[in-house]
């Protein structure tokens, strides 16, 4: 009988550990863990406030909305935005203690747009094989946060490339190899 009781104690403990990987318990209540981002696209004027992840799983309809907002506004081309990029900018914002809106300067770029931007001058900072072409990069400001602080926090995370464009006052973040400029 003692062995049987121990076996039944293991099941609730195992279930609790399993569930805790998806949600947290606060004051005896199971809470849903959500990751939310807010965007304002500076070129289109469109806004989006969306929960893109719930209980450790990406929300497909939210990812579709994000892909639609972060399209190449010059050509109309769309691509899938890397969910790891969303996690990166979410984590940077959280680490800064902000819940502000990201002002988007650029996200996905079609090859045509990338070449056009590269051709503007020799010092544009637009890479031939830009992470923007893969939906793995975003150029942003964060409402209420100095771009120098945004840059420094992104660099400290070591989760991809970080560029600082002081004259235009924005930060580039991508999920490529860690590097900075």
Strands 170-174, 161-165: pairing is antiparallel
How many angstroms separate the CA atoms of 93 and 7, rounded?
44
Check if the beta carbon of residue 150 is closer than 8 Å to that of residue 141. yes
CA–CA gap between residue 47 and residue 78 (Å, rounded) = 17
Q: Domain spans of the chain? A: 1-32, 33-180
Topology adopted by domain 33-180: Muramoyl-pentapeptide Carboxypeptidase; domain 2 (3.30.1380)
Per-position pLDDT tens, the chain of length 181: 555 445 555 444 444 444 444 455 556 666 789 999 999 999 999 999 999 999 999 999 999 999 999 999 999 999 999 999 999 999 999 999 999 999 999 999 999 999 888 877 666 667 878 899 999 999 999 999 999 999 999 999 999 999 999 999 999 999 999 999 9
Pairing of the two strands 102-106 and 34-41: parallel
Q: How far apart are CA 176 and CA 55, in angstroms?
A: 26
Phi, psi of 169 (to 5 degrees): 55, 60
């Amino acid at each position: 009988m003692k062995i049987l009781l121990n076996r039944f104690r293991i099941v609730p403990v195992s279930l609790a550990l399993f569930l805790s990987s998806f949600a947290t318990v606060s004051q005896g209540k199971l809470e849903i863990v959500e990751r939310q981002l807010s965007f304002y696209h500076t070129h289109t004027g469109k806004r989006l406030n969306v929960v893109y992840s719930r209980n450790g799983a990406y929300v497909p309809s939210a990812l579709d909305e994000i892909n639609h907002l972060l399209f190449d506004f010059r050509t109309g081309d769309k691509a899938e935005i890397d969910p790891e990029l969303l996690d990166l900018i979410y984590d940077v914002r959280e680490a800064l203690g902000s819940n502000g809106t990201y002002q988007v300067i650029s996200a996905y770029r079609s090859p045509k747009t990338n070449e056009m931007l590269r051709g503007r001058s020799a010092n544009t900072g637009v890479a031939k094989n830009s992470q923007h072409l893969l939906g793995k990069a975003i150029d942003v400001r964060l409402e209420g946060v100095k771009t120098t602080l945004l840059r420094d926090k992104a660099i400290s995370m070591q989760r991809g490339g970080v560029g600082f464009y002081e004259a235009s006052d924005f930060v580039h973040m991508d999920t490529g190899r860690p590097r900075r400029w």
